[in-house]
Structure 1
């Protein structure tokens, strides 16, 4: 009578069973170890003969701490995290700006502002110098114009020009006449001809309207008389005066004749002779 027995034995692996083969009079052992599971690169497996399953140990390495601009993917070949991404390039900054990377917003925070343009005079211009980071101010006040002695100038910041004020004093006009010539005390000049003359002293102009009247022609004539007799003196034009008494009764001498014309011009003659002779006895 044939009997088949199936049982496990301490001599068997946990996954094996044994059946006694009455024909071969041997134990037929069946069963194979479960295949090792597919492992991740970071896992190891050991067969647990108690539970008869593979015990898998190991865990994926923790993802590294990433910057805001980085991403990570696990590389099953190298069994490490591949981190990609780079910090955005710092923006080009103006000379007055600074930049700090904001890990929250993942962008560069740019701070700083251009210095305020300085207050300019009307004749100035300003350009910002990116090298020195300051305003370059150019331009200068227009030169004050040449002023007459009676003028003053003040710079007008609205029109950006010099305002010139002042007007000349009216000239002082003198009308005068002279006999033969005229001395003008304004400029210490003597004039012998009629005309209009001008002079400037300091900031004052002067005008002289001058009439020169000729001196009258005055003559005296020689006369003679006997001693003791009076002699009449001769002078032209008539109406003048003699330098000695007229008629004359004195000794031999000379005399002159002076005459003033209608213009008030006075002239005196050259000396004339008075001859007085003594009568014969």
Structure 2
């Protein structure tokens, strides 16, 4: 029993250290408050005033919906975000804060491996804090990251293609960087038509330049990329935000968690 209590306390301290990163980064404009009446789907909750709220900053895993239900139903929450304009489904997009917590529920889900960071939040400090929460769960192989196949290996394009239409995290070495018209291709295989590739539109090149990342410099680098898998003969992920790509250590093996 003593050992169990020690392990529990250690886990609680580790989780607290991840959540502590949110002392200030994600404090956007207030979008109101309410009580959670129901969980609509894996990233949408309904408040008692019938507003539906989409949790920004995360993509769900198999555990996300149950985690939201157990933590939020019947609880008072505060909403923060950049824009409270409803999306085409009538949902308000926001970070959801439980009670007086300084960290959004998104951070807790990520720290427990119960969600994946989506890289959709453009605020650099907030985005970095969310990614840090996920990184802790990856290191500790929590939740989703306990499954060795949670991160796909870019050298196995068939495994990635099997997940077409899904949000995935892929690691691998960029073998070549090619520009064709208004598109840059990061190729991970020798066979360009069948290997995994990342595509980056010309319209977001300036965002990479502002971040100090020259796309050509990614050649022969190990990277982690996240996004929706598309493609036919060969799988690809279209990158729309700089945060979808992470540089890995020079000697870090690919296809595994750091």
Q: Same fold (TM over 0.5)?
A: no
Report which of the two has the higher share of helix. Answer: 2
TM-score normalised per structure 1? 0.17
TM-score normalised per structure 2? 0.18
Larger radius of gyration: 1
Report which of the two has the higher share of strand. Answer: 1
